[in-house]
Structure 1
């Protein structure tokens, strides 16, 4: 079985991790194919290769789970991606809806030395512009205890994280002044409520 390119492996592992970062259900092959924009047959073959390398556990037709080695590699790439997004916003003047695709390219090309320097210059940030936690150099993640805004039945909440999968939604939220750190109310922002994670506030 031919060994796949490192960049492809990294993209798959990062996508598997992303699916389970904010909820507990493991990703299925069809969900992974949709997330990556690939044919299910392509994903199935790649998952077999990842399993052969000891990076994922996968029973035929079953869900896909990262092994400890796979999770470690996924967190390494997540750290690179989110540090680069933070650098693009804070130092290069990009808007938060513009940085995902740029980071997807740069995360594979940037050396560890340069990434460590970006981290130092940025003051070792713990979250990216969307509120997603940045793993530390040891792969530790401090994820806030947040829930989707759509699950909030009453009261107000602090925006902890906004999904970056829909650039147009991010532009709309920018126009509305909503970003991590904003205060929102239950029942507000209905069109984006499933993409916004919040920490309920005691009134």
Structure 2
């Protein structure tokens, strides 16, 4: 049975996400974990994606997007992140409220409406969480970055991205004054200074969810 376009898009988007902010390739078992599916189901789908020329994969090896797969993934991610940005700017959604809405809308709005949204927003390059919005050609532009957990004491960098995987963590970061565009200086011991203010403790899990300029 052919895979549904929505299922294909969800796989490609997950593969794209995995290597967007780190270099480790995604394995079928990791893909199964991230999608919440049985490994056998993922193996079957990966084989279908490979047959369509969207991914490359060898037995027991990682899964990687082909050029065609990357273009399709970037197109879906462009839709998702433009919708998230639209909901925050035009409808007053908080940054921890937009992901699930965008998951639905990305599959339903027309290309015409999408490009109208992009034009109304001024063709933004980043979504509310700091993730790059691919342009109409699938290209993205990012500054060199480092995961906060890997930044040494004394390092200062501007917040480029806060992962949207955990809505509760997003709210905790917001309560601590951590948002895209603010400058973080690593103090050590789980403490940072934000925009030169006195040190504050980081919410649990934050160092693994925040990327700053290298």
TM-score by length of 1: 0.95
Question: Is residue 170 of structure 1 aligned with residue 186 of structure 2?
Answer: no
Listed as ranges, the gaps of 5+ residues in structure 1 are: none
TM-score by length of 2: 0.90
CA contact (8 A) 2:169 2:203 kept: no
Listed as ranges, the gaps of 5+ residues in structure 2 are: 192-201
DSSP 3-state at the match of 2:25: coil
Distance 2:26 2:54 in 1: 14
Deviation at 1:168, TM superposition (A): 0.5
CA contact (8 A) 2:172 2:203 kept: no
CA contact (8 A) 1:76 1:139 kept: yes
Distance 1:169 1:190 in 2: 7
Instruction: Quote the RMSD (CA, aligned, Å).
Output: 1.0
DSSP 3-state at the match of 2:70: helix
Distance 1:185 1:33 in 2: 36
Distance 1:88 1:190 in 2: 26
Deviation at 1:154, TM superposition (A): 2.2
Cα-to-partner distance string for 1:119-165 (whole Å, 9 max, x where unaligned): 00001100000000101001111022111011111222211101110
Question: Is residue 142 of structure 1 aligned with residue 141 of structure 2?
Answer: yes
CA contact (8 A) 1:100 1:164 kept: yes
Distance 2:144 2:166 in 1: 23
**Segments ≥4 residues shifted beyond 4 Å:** none
DSSP 3-state at the match of 1:158: strand
Question: Is residue 37 of structure 1 aligned with residue 51 of structure 2?
Answer: no
DSSP 3-state at the match of 2:208: coil
Aligned residue pairs total 199
Deviation at 1:190, TM superposition (A): 6.2
Distance 1:8 1:56 in 2: 14
Distance 1:73 1:79 in 2: 10
Partner residue in 1 for 2:56:
57
